Amino acid sequence: MRKIILLLSAAFIILFSCATTTPEVADTETEEKIAEPVEEKVVQTVIIDVYLVSMETQSASDSIVDGYKEYQYDEKGNLLEKRELDGEKKLLNRMVNEVSRNQIIKSQWFSGEENEPGNYLIKEYDGDNLIKETSFDIEDIPQSISTYEYNNNEMVKWTVSSGDNVPMMVTDYEYTNGMKSKATFLTPLGEMEGYIKYSWNGELIESEKTFDENDDLEKSIEYEYDDGNLIREIFYKKTVVDHTIEYELDENGNAITSKYLYRSGNLKSQIAYEYISVKREVQQ
């Protein structure tokens, strides 16, 4: 019995010694790593010149003036009024905008030199995003309603409804790398009626192709640039050129004329543009 007790005591001492012995740690040299400094993007506000069209003069191929469009802005560049005149500068119609917080909240149309009021449009916003436009007649009866839905400030759905809010048309939008890549036209029941596919080169749109519900190409537009400035739009019906619009630019890259050319290349009409500039703050 004494022998058994001695053996148990020895086993306990060995067990306790193993449990309480501090494990040996290898003597390794620890290298202190210093984190690389993170470059913070510096955002600065600069003031730039923004060029706005103040006058359009439309002429036929024989250079006879067909009409004019005049534009008036506030000091921040918000459009206040647009006037359409005939070749003798007789007023045909005008649109007047009401602006609040740099957003157009109401557009009213007037016809003729008698200034007869016509339909008007009320716009509603959620922050910077336009979410609803309602058109009213002169008796304040709603004629049509457009609503817009967004995801991360990208418009993903446009619904057009009648004045009594019955949906008539829906357009869904898709994006790739922040650029609109597809617009799909749907019935209120969700049946696809056609779509447009957009192609981009960076931030410059290269083409728009419109397909029907059977994926058959109906029409398309191709865009051409010079140093990032639009100089030509080529319009196709299916795969055949229908007409072309060519732009002549000034030193600031603004179009000073646009020429509408038949498929043959003959001139149909042209528009000459005049500009004003306003100062605007932008972040870079």
pLDDT at site 25: 38
Q: pLDDT digits over 234-257, tens only?
A: 999 999 999 999 999 999 999 999
* Sequence-distant (≥ 6) Cβ neighbours of residue 81 within 8 angstroms: 70, 71, 72, 94, 95, 96, 97
235 within 8 A of 243, measured Cβ to Cβ: yes
The pair of structure tokens assigned to 155 is: 């418009």
Burial of 91 (0-12, 13-18, 19+ CB in 10 A): middle
pLDDT at site 194: 98
SS3 210: strand
pLDDT at site 23: 39
Sign of CA dihedral 6, 9, 10, 11: positive
pLDDT at site 130: 98
SS3 113: coil
Q: What's the whole-number average pLDDT of the chain?
A: 89
pLDDT at site 113: 93
pLDDT at site 106: 98
67 within 8 A of 90, measured Cβ to Cβ: no
Mean pLDDT calculated for residue range 63-70: 97
pLDDT for residue 162 is more than 50: yes
Q: Where are the beta strands (DSSP E) in the chain?
A: 45-60, 65-73, 79-86, 91-100, 103-111, 116-126, 129-136, 142-151, 154-162, 167-176, 179-186, 192-201, 204-212, 217-226, 229-237, 240-249, 255-262, 267-283
pLDDT for residue 58 is more than 70: yes
pLDDT at site 147: 98
pLDDT at site 283: 77
pLDDT at site 183: 98
Which amino acid is residue 138, in one-letter code?
Answer: I
pLDDT for residue 277 is more than 90: yes
pLDDT band at 19 (very low <50, low <70, confident <90, very high): very low
Q: pLDDT digits over 125-158, tens only?
A: 999 999 999 999 999 999 999 999 999 999 999 9
User: Cα dist. 65→71, 85, 245, 269 in Å?
Assistant: 18, 11, 18, 10
